[in-house]
Structure 1
Amino acid sequence: MTEDEIFKDLGVVPFRRLNRSGRPAPHLSLRFDSHLFSIDTSRSPKSSVQPDAYLITHAHSDHYGKSAMISPDSLASRETARALEIRHERNYEGRTFPVGGSIVVDELELKTYSTGHTIGSVAFGWETEVGTRVLVTGDVKNYENLPKCDLLVTEANYGDPWDPSCRFEDDIVGFGDAVESGATFGAYAFGKAQRAISLIRALGCKDPVGMDDKSLALTRELLPDFGPLSPMEENGTDLNVVTPWELSRVKSDRKYVLTGRSDLPFTQIRLSDHLDFKGLMRMVEKISPEAALIYHPEGRRANMMAHHLRELGMASISVSEVHDSF
């Protein structure tokens, strides 16, 4: 089945907006019924076709909320909107909703579902006039709340079945051992830092934790009442959570970076905010879509995941295989 046949049957057509240079803008848009939704993409210039809504799944920069957040047509959870404001020091101009709640766009109800990727991260789901159930996930760590659908629009950060680095387990034991001995952890200010604090408290540690300014502001806002937190310079203990770029400034004999990356000069502890390949396949099996569109990231992993799903008999394309543009 060709791309055109897949989406014609479902009544949904994916598009990509072209920049002035003629290159595709980030991620994509979906046209269905009388609607056009842009998904995790940058804001369209005034001279371009305007979507009915910008769906912002979460506040990481590679999902382009910094651009879309100043549009009154943007949709984001309350936590995502606040995280965008703290990260980018500008007001969020769009509409918000509670995680798990609904929001209406031109009489169409969009339901939202937690994905466990970051605080406030959501998937959007709706049903078209012809009865097609669409689910747009953003990045996913926990798929238990996600419903079945006909068209799945999802991520493939670790979707390449032939890449060994796409199969992993989180090292909670190693993280716990490092917490007990007193350590400094390198973690991205939004997402990973809050997960580290949550795990530290879940492990029973009530000690003060020092943080860099941005991580501290985000954590205090998104995780209130999670024990004593303080600016890194004022912290009187050995336990710190700072951005990877701040690790070299901290005086500590035990430094770890909470990532799967191999290009940072510190001991790694694997704590991922994404599903690995096996988890992504379990998610697809649970959701059981008729077709899938893999939109993040663009490139090899999305292509390989779409290819693998086709080998399993599912109609599937990656974002780089979307040919229609506006």
Structure 2
Amino acid sequence: MLSIISSEIGVISKKLIDLGVLALRQRNSRGTFKPHISIRFRDGAGDLRMFSVDTTRTPGKYPQPDAYLITHAHSDHHGKSAMLSPNAVCSDKTAMALEIRHDKKYAGSICRVGEDMEVEGVKIKTFSTEHTVGATAFYWENDVGTKILVTGDVKDASKLPPCDVLITEANYGDPADPSCHFSDDLEGMRCALFEHGPVAFGAYEFGKTQRAVELIRGFGYEGAIRMEARTRALTRSMLEDAGELEGLDSGGGDGVFVVAPWDLVKLPWNIKKYVLSCRMDYPFPIIKISDHLDACGLEDMVRKLKPEVTLVYHPGGHRPSKFSKHLNSIGIDSISIDQIGNVLSNEFI
């Protein structure tokens, strides 16, 4: 069985090389793999380029990639490190979020989502993935016309273009895991919002909080929403119509609160508490609100984009491999990040 699997990986690897794309994983000073992957290809002039995707910065004494693509500002996409490089590339909203979250100056290039930009002669188109405010997919062509798309995490794939090589996520990509199948419980959140008495929603400060505010306003709530200072700064910067936002201590214990899930226990006992998540390991009632596609949504995205090869690079753990194996089982050529480190980094364009 192992030899059969290795043979299949080799065939897909050769197909990727024939498309003029080399996926590799770089090692850090400790000899272990850096997060996520890098892509080598030739630009229209035939010059060899390397784009690193959602990974940490390479020390200045070593050769640098032509671009550090930062798809969004969540910590597991390593913008805190990459933002310090002049070769960093992200959206204006992502750069703003990184600066607020990490209190550092963003040093790279920015564009608005939906605009084109150029990096070392490579024309890059950008598309929204709706995962967070400013979350960006990057799209470009190499010297042989191969269309390459890097998505990061995806909530809505409707704006993404067809491609030849898709580099994407699998946060909920295990079709055999019931927790990877869900739909947003918008009615449950609306009912919780308008229950009698104060209510608090547990949500991560960047991404989920802003979506919570958009939903709360969309449900018709016009009062103050209370949250801690940095979360307020992020939300005001990310959203144009956030409405009235106040601190946790203002207005007593009434109204609507949005705090980190682990901070719900710090709020007064009389506040009804919920977590907005598809995870089931919190000690509070869960309302399923996700910023990701589920397993069926991820498969539908790949089918819609029709890549010749799909590289699955995120998150850590087994789900990239599970999703990649599922794609192969339904006739879609795919390689996961664990296979990239073992196989593709030994190939050369």
The TM-score, its normalising length taken from structure 2, stands at 0.91
What is the DSSP-based 3-state SS (H/G/I as helix, E as strand, rest coil) of the residue aligned with 2:209?
A: helix
SS in 2 for 1:37: strand
Match of 2:234 in 1: 218
Paired residue for 1:60, among 55, 68, 74?
Answer: 74
Would you say the 8 A contact 2:179–2:279 is kept in 1?
no
Q: Counterpart in 2 of 1:249?
A: 266
Secondary structure, aligned partner of 1:162: coil
> Which residue among 34, 38, 43 is the counterpart of 1:29?
38
RMSD over aligned Cα, in angstroms? 1.3
Query: What are the Cα deviations for residues 27-73 of structure 1, in whole angstroms up to 9, with x where unaligned?
Result: 01000011100000000112333100000000000000000000000
Report the secondary structure of 1:233's partner residue: coil
Q: Deviations over 1:168-216 (max 9, x none)?
A: 1111011000111241111000000000000000011101110112211
Tell me, which stretches of 5 or more residues in structure 2 are unaligned? 1-7, 43-47
How is 1:190-209 mapped onto 2 (pairs within 5 angstroms)?
Answer: 190-209=206-225
2:301 is paired with a residue of what secondary structure?
A: helix
| Contact 1:17 1:24 (C-alpha < 8 Å) held by counterparts | yes
Q: 2:102 aligns with which of 62, 70, 88?
A: 88
Match of 2:3 in 1: none
1:14 aligns to what SS in structure 2?
A: strand
1:264 to partner: Cα distance? 1.8
The within-5 A match list for 1:256-275 is 256-275=274-293
Contact residue 6 and residue 315 of structure 1 kept, 8 A:
no
- Equivalent residue number for residue 50 of structure 1: 64
Give the corresponding residue for 2:86: 72
The letter for the 1-side match of 2:155 is K
Q: Which has the higher mean CA deviation after the structures are superposed, 255-264 or 53-62?
A: 255-264
Alignment-derived partner of residue 126 in structure 2 = 112
User: Residues 318 and 144 of structure 1: is their aligned pair in 2 closer, same or farther, counting only changes over 3 Å?
Assistant: same
Shift of 1:223: 1.2
Amino acid at match of 1:7: L
Match in the other structure for 1:137: 151
- Quote the residue 2:5 is aligned against: none
Query: Displacement, 1:217?
Result: 1.1
Deviation at 1:80, TM superposition (A): 0.2
Does the aligned pair in 1 maintain the 2:227–2:258 contact within 8 Å?
yes
Quote the offset at 1:224 in angstroms. 3.1
Q: Which residue of 2 aligns with 1:98?
A: 112
Mapped to 1, the partners of 2:263 and 2:171 lie a distance apart of 25
Which is further off, 263-272 or 150-159? 263-272
Work out the percentage of aligned pairs sharing the same amino acid: 49
Q: How big is the shift at 1:114?
A: 0.2
Give the alignment's TM-score, normalised by structure 1: 0.97
Code of the residue aligned with 2:228 in structure 1: it is D
Cα displacement (A) at 1:242: 0.9
2:295 pairs with one of 252, 258, 277: 277
Tell whether the 8 Å contact from 1:209 to 1:235 is kept in structure 2 after alignment: no
> Which ranges of structure 1 fall in alignment gaps of 5 or more residues?
none
Correspondences of 1:306-321 after superposition (within 5 Å): 306-321=324-339
What secondary structure is seen at the aligned counterpart in 2 of 1:126? strand
8 Å CA contact 2:190–2:219 kept in 1: the answer is: yes
Q: What residue in structure 2 maps to residue 293 of structure 1?
A: 311
How far did residue 325 of structure 1 move? Answer: 4.6
